[in-house]
């Protein structure tokens, strides 16, 4: 890939533009409703119906759940179908991606911003119900939402339409939008065959806006400050900010808000600028590769990744995506084949077990990659993995198989040399890393 | 690597039906891999290593009749034909 060189880093300090996470110090926990309203002012609900959708479209805000669909266009398509029969806002905070922590962080620290966004969405699209779909293990997030809801009602700022909480099962596919809708309807968080998509026919058969919590938090800020304000930060044509979950080599995931368009190298240096919060920053010299976008993402070798901007358009041109904002650094001492096998194994186990190609294909692929990792490969394993990856693609009701093989195919390219050593059973270059934990 | 060109097709539901186009689609959740469709219609359907159909979704006019038979014989009604008008 021909990408911007590393010289460009120095133009501005790697400051994080803090918007969604602005307000009281994060270590204090959830911002109360009264603090929230004192800081940001009341919710401009009355204008939402007329002006918010055009404003969101003008902002260029893209969905932050992984697919990156334009938020304004999504609201418009639900609003058009809702006319006369109602609609549902499904706030998606399932966050099944193991390397992502940003949604539960926003919910736990800034619950009022998400509730603002949900109420605005309900006004803008003409919804008569809001469902908060939150991971069942995200206790702090659920508590914060319940407390914020009570504070809002006590202050006379409660939602016009009923709000309920649905606890998303701790499964990778539970956050897929058709799975979220099915869970609310039937208690089964597995994807369904589409079409119809949720915006056509969702919760209780009504047009349903399934929107990620971070997207709603940005929408709540855009409703108050406008599209121009949203676009005032960013690098190049990538505008606004995004929450990313950064995992340094051997570190635990840390959530940061960054300007879009900043490079992965700059994101790594953000952590260097914040010592003492229990994580060590990634540096180019101790990073072998970057996993961008999470378990449905791609491996990128560190040299290329460092200059790569978090710019959705540029990433797409290279077949990449931020996914739900995951940037994980793989240490130079960890075997990438072992790391990839672990993810392949996880994703095979997380199949909803509904579609044959996903059930059998991902299992076969994971078994072969695990043999490769353990230096126990059969002769045909490598070729089979490539063939199965091509066979499985586009053959599920949801994108689970596509995401899994996308990651795998990036590993085959990025780690080709090491894969060859493993395949020939010549040994692992990271023997010390075989038992250590992957990124 | 040897891949059938059929697997390179974009997902059938990804693009709108053209006028006069007939498309063969499989509901992946319903499909149990009986494989009868591939026996009847090898021109458009391969089976993967586990016996599940890899469907070439665009149905040429001369194959429409046999495609309809394939739809009819599926024991779990996982196949369907859709036509653009």
Tokens of A16: 């994080």
Measure the CA–CA gap between A185 and A81, rounded to whole angstroms: 19
Most B-contacting residue of A359, A361, A390, A396 (CB-CB within 10 A), to test interface: A390
Cα A82 from chain centre: 27
Per-residue pLDDT tens over the stretch B23-62: 999 999 999 999 999 999 999 999 999 999 999 989 999 9
Predicted confidence at residue B2, as pLDDT, reads 38
Measure the CA–CA gap between A121 and A234, rounded to whole angstroms: 25
Shortest Cα–Cα distance, B31 to chain A (Å): 7
Q: Tell me whether A380 touches chain B (CB under 8 Å).
A: no
Q: How confident is the model at residue B20 (pLDDT cuts 50, 70, 90)?
A: confident
Count Cα neighbours of A106 within 13 Å in the Cβ-side half-sphere: 34
**Inter-chain CB proximity B50 and A194 less than 8 Å:** no
Predicted confidence at residue A48, as pLDDT, reads 87
- pLDDT over 70 for what percent of chain B? 81
- pLDDT over 90 for what percent of chain A? 85
Ordered DSSP codes for A268-319? HHHHHTSTTSS-----GGGEEEEEESGGGSEEEEHHHHHT-B--HHHHHHTT
Tokens of B17: 């039906």
Rounded to two decimals, the pTM is 0.89
A348: how many CB neighbours lie within 10 A of its CB?
23
Q: Tell me whether A317 touches chain B (CB under 8 Å).
A: no
Tokens of A87: 């609609």
Q: Tell me whether A117 touches chain B (CB under 8 Å).
A: no
B32 neighbors B67 (Cβ within 8 angstroms): no
Average pLDDT in the A215-230 region?
97
Asked whether residue A292 carries a pLDDT value surpassing 80, the answer given is: yes
**Inter-chain CB proximity B29 and A355 less than 8 Å:** yes
Per-residue pLDDT tens over the stretch A254-286: 999 999 999 999 998 876 555 445 455 677 788
**Inter-chain CB proximity B27 and A390 less than 8 Å:** no
Measure the CA–CA gap between B27 and B77, rounded to whole angstroms: 9
Most B-contacting residue of A362, A367, A387 (CB-CB within 10 A), to test interface: A387
Shortest Cα–Cα distance, A360 to chain B (Å): 7
Per-residue pLDDT tens over the stretch A168-181: 999 999 999 999 99
Per-residue pLDDT tens over the stretch A380-423: 999 999 999 999 999 999 999 999 999 999 999 999 999 999 99
Interface confidence (ipTM) of the complex: 0.82
Most A-contacting residue of B52, B54, B80 (CB-CB within 10 A), to test interface: B52
**Inter-chain CB proximity A355 and B28 less than 8 Å:** yes
Question: What residues in B contact A397, CB-CB < 8 Å?
Answer: 27-29
What number of residues does chain A have?
A: 439
Q: How confident is the model at residue B6 (pLDDT cuts 50, 70, 90)?
A: very low
Q: How confident is the model at residue A431 (pLDDT cuts 50, 70, 90)?
A: confident
Predicted confidence at residue A13, as pLDDT, reads 54
Which one of A192, A195, A357 has the shortest CB-CB distance to B48? A357
Asked whether residue A369 carries a pLDDT value surpassing 50, the answer given is: yes
Size of interface A-B (CB pairs under 8 A): 61
Per-residue pLDDT tens over the stretch A39-71: 999 999 988 888 999 999 999 999 999 999 999
Asked whether residue A145 carries a pLDDT value surpassing 60, the answer given is: yes
DSSP one-letter code for A152 = H
Helix (H) or strand (E) holding B22: strand B22-26
Predicted confidence at residue B7, as pLDDT, reads 32
Predicted confidence at residue A168, as pLDDT, reads 96
- Name the closest residue on chain A to residue B27, using Cα atoms: A193
Per-residue pLDDT tens over the stretch A227-241: 999 999 999 999 999
Output A188 or A279, whichever has higher pLDDT: A188
Which of A13-27, A189-203, B4-18 bottoms out in mean pLDDT, i.e. has the lowest? B4-18
**To the nearest whole number, what is the mean pLDDT of chain A?**
91
A306: how many CB neighbours lie within 10 A of its CB?
25
Predicted confidence at residue B1, as pLDDT, reads 36
């Amino acid at each position: 890939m021909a990408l911007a060189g590393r010289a460009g880093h120095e133009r501005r300090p790697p400051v994080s533009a803090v918007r969604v996470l602005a307000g009281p110090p994060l270590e204090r926990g959830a911002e109360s409703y009264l603090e929230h309203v004192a800081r940001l002012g009341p919710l401009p609900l009355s204008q939402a119906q007329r002006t918010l959708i055009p404003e969101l479209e003008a902002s260029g805000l893209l969905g932050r759940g992984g697919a990156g669909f334009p938020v304004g266009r999504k609201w418009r398509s639900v609003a058009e179908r809702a006319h006369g029969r109602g609609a549902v806002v499904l706030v998606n905070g399932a966050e099944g991606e193991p390397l992502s922590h940003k949604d539960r962080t926003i919910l736990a620290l800034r619950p009022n911003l998400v509730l603002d966004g949900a109420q605005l969405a309900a006004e803008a699209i003409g919804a008569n119900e809001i469902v908060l779909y939150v991971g069942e293990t995200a206790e702090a997030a659920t508590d914060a939402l319940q407390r914020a809801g009570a504070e809002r009602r006590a202050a006379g700022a409660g939602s016009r339409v009923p709000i309920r909480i649905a606890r998303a099962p701790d499964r990778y596919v539970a956050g897929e939008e058709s799975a979220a809708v099915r869970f609310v309807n039937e208690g089964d968080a597995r994807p369904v065959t589409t079409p119809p998509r949720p915006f056509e026919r969702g919760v209780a058969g009504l047009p349903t806006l399934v929107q990620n919590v971070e997207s709603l938090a940005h929408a709540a800020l855009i409703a108050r400050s406008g599209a121009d304000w949203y676009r005032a930060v960013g690098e190049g044509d990538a505008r606004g900010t995004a929450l990313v979950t950064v995992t340094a080599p051997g570190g635990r995931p840390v959530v940061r808000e960054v300007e879009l368009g900043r490079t992965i190298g700059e994101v790594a240096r953000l952590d260097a600028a914040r010592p003492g919060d229990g994580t060590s920053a990634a540096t180019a010299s101790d990073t072998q590769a970057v996993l961008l976008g999470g378990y449905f993402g791609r491996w990128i070798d560190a040299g290329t990744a460092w200059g790569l901007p978090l710019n959705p358009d540029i990433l797409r041109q290279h077949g990449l995506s931020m996914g739900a904002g995951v940037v994980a650094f793989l240490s130079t001492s960890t075997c990438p084949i072992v790391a990839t096998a672990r993810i392949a194994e996880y994703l095979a186990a997380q199949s909803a077990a509904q579609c044959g190609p996903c059930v059998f294909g991902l299992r076969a692929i994971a078994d072969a990659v695990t043999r490769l990792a353990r230096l126990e490969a059969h002769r045909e394993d490598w070729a089979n993995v490539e063939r199965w990856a091509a066979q499985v693609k586009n053959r599920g009701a949801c994108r689970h198989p596509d995401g899994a093989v996308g990651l795998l195919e990036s590993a085959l390219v990025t780690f080709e040399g090491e894969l060859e050593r493993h395949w020939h059973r010549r040994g692992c270059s990271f023997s010390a890393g075989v038992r250590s934990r992957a990124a | 690597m040897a891949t059938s060109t059929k697997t390179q097709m974009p997902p059938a539901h990804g693009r709108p039906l053209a006028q006069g186009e007939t498309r063969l689609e499989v509901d992946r959740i319903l499909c149990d891999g009986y494989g009868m469709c591939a026996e009847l219609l090898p021109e458009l359907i391969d089976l993967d290593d586990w016996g599940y159909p890899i469907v070439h979704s665009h149905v040429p006019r001369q194959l429409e009749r046999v495609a309809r038979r394939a739809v009819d014989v599926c024991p779990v009604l996982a196949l369907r034909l859709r036509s653009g008008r």
